[in-house]
C-alpha cells in the first residue's frame, strides 16, 4: 500500500489591501475503501476558523472568512495518505445487457447529474470523428478505454495554453490543453453514449516512469461501468486510475471540484500561484517544490505569454488554410 506525503500551497497576492475574503476549499482527500488519510495539517493566513461540511456529492468542503485587511492569502495543506490497489476490472457480462442496464440508470440519482452535457457547438463533428455508433458495439468498458485513448492521441499536452474559462469548442480547435481539458473532453464523449461519468480532482503521485501532471493538482474522470462500479480513467496519461492517483473530490465538472475559490472586497487585481510536492512510492520525499510557487494561467481575456499566443495563432492559421 503506497504512502504519500503531499504538500499543496495556494497563494493569492492582491494589488492592494483587501478584506472580508470569503473562501471555499476542496482540499480534504476522499476517505473510502481505497484511500485512507492518516494525517492532514491545514494552515491559512490569519488563522481563521474553517467550517467543514459535506456537499451533495459527498465531498468534504471547507469554508472560512478572513475579515481583516490583508495583501496576500496563503492556504497551506499537508497530507499523509495511504492508497490501496483496486481489484482487476471484469467484463464478462454480455455487451447488450450492460447497455440496457445503463439505459435504466438515466433517470436515477446520482447518475442524472453525471449524464448532463456541457454546451459544445462542435459535438456533432466530434461524434463523427470518434465513430459513436461503433462504440455502441463494444462493451461499456471497451468503449471507455477506446475513448480515453482517443483523447490521449488527439490532443497535445501543453501547459498554459488554456485556462479554467476555456470552452470545449476552444479546446477542440486547439487540439491541446492540460489534464482538466482532457478530463472534460472525455466526460462529453462518455456521457454521449450514456455512460455516467464524473470529474475527479486530486494528485498523481510519482512513479519510476514519470507521469504527466506530477507536481501539480491533477484531474481525470470516473465512469460507471456495469460489474465494476465507478472506474477511474486518466486520459492525460492514457491509463486506468490506480493507487498512484489520490482523489480530492468528484463532481459534474471542474467547478464542483475547484480546490480553492472565493471572493473579497478591495482591489480587483490579483495573482494566483500554486505549488505541489509529492513523495515517491518509497517514502522518500522530493525537494519541497511546493514552496516554489508557479503562477497560474490567466483567464483567456488576460495576458497570456508569447508562447501561448504563438501556439494559438499557429492553430488559427492552420484552420484558416483548411477552410480556403
**Which pTM value belongs to this model?**
0.88
Condensed to tens digits (0 to 9), the pLDDT of residues 13-41 reads: 999 999 999 999 999 999 999 999 999 99
Q: Enumerate domains of the chain plus CATH numbers.
A: 3-84+257-302 (2.60.40.2250), 95-256 (3.10.620.30)
**Rounded Cα gap, residues 194 and 49, in angstroms:** 42
Q: What percent of the chain has pLDDT over 70?
A: 85
Condensed to tens digits (0 to 9), the pLDDT of residues 92-118 reads: 999 999 999 999 999 899 999 999 988
The set of cell numbers assigned to 33 is 475503501
**Rounded Cα gap, residues 157 and 176, in angstroms:** 6
First to last CA, the chain: 57
Res. 310 pLDDT band, cuts 50 70 90: very low
Query: For residue 110, is the peptide bond before it cis, meaning its omega torsion is within 30 degrees of 0?
Result: yes
Amino acid at each position: 500500500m503506497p504512502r504519500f506525503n503531499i504538500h499543496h500551497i495556494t497563494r493569492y497576492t492582491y494589488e492592494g489591501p483587501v478584506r472580508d475574503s470569503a473562501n471555499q476549499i476542496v482540499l480534504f482527500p476522499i476517505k473510502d475503501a481505497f484511500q485512507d488519510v492518516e494525517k492532514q495539517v491545514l494552515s491559512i493566513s490569519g488563522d481563521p476558523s474553517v467550517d467543514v461540511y459535506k456537499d451533495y456529492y459527498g465531498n468534504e468542503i471547507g469554508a472560512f472568512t478572513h475579515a481583516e485587511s490583508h495583501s496576500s492569502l496563503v492556504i497551506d495543506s499537508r497530507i499523509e495518505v495511504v492508497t490501496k490497489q483496486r481489484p482487476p476490472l471484469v467484463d464478462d457480462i454480455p455487451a447488450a445487457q450492460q447497455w440496457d442496464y445503463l439505459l435504466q440508470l438515466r433517470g436515477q440519482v446520482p447518475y442524472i447529474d453525471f449524464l448532463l452535457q456541457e454546451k459544445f457547438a462542435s459535438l456533432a463533428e466530434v461524434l463523427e470523428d470518434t465513430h459513436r455508433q461503433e462504440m455502441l458495439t463494444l462493451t461499456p468498458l471497451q468503449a471507455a478505454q477506446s475513448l480515453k485513448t482517443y483523447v490521449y492521441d488527439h490532443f497535445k499536452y501543453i501547459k498554459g495554453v488554456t485556462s479554467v474559462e476555456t470552452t470545449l469548442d476552444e479546446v477542440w480547435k486547439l487540439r491541446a490543453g492540460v489534464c482538466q481539458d482532457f478530463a472534460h473532453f472525455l466526460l462529453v464523449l462518455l456521457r454521449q453514449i450514456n455512460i455516467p461519468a464524473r470529474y475527479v480532482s486530486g494528485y498523481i503521485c510519482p512513479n519510476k516512469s514519470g507521469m504527466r501532471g506530477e507536481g501539480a493538482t491533477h484531474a481525470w474522470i470516473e465512469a460507471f461501468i456495469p460489474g465494476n462500479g465507478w472506474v477511474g480513467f486518466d486520459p492525460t496519461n492514457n491509463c486506468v486510475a490506480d493507487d498512484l492517483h489520490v482523489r480530492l473530490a468528484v463532481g459534474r465538472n471542474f467547478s464542483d471540484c475547484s480546490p480553492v475559490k472565493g471572493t473579497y472586497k478591495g482591489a480587483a487585481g490579483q495573482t494566483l500561484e500554486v505549488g505541489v510536492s509529492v513523495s515517491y512510492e518509497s517514502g522518500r520525499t522530493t525537494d519541497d517544490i511546493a514552496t516554489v510557487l508557479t503562477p497560474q494561467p490567466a483567464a483567456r481575456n488576460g495576458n497570456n505569454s508569447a508562447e501561448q499566443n504563438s501556439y494559438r495563432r499557429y492553430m488559427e492559421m492552420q484552420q484558416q488554410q483548411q477552410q480556403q
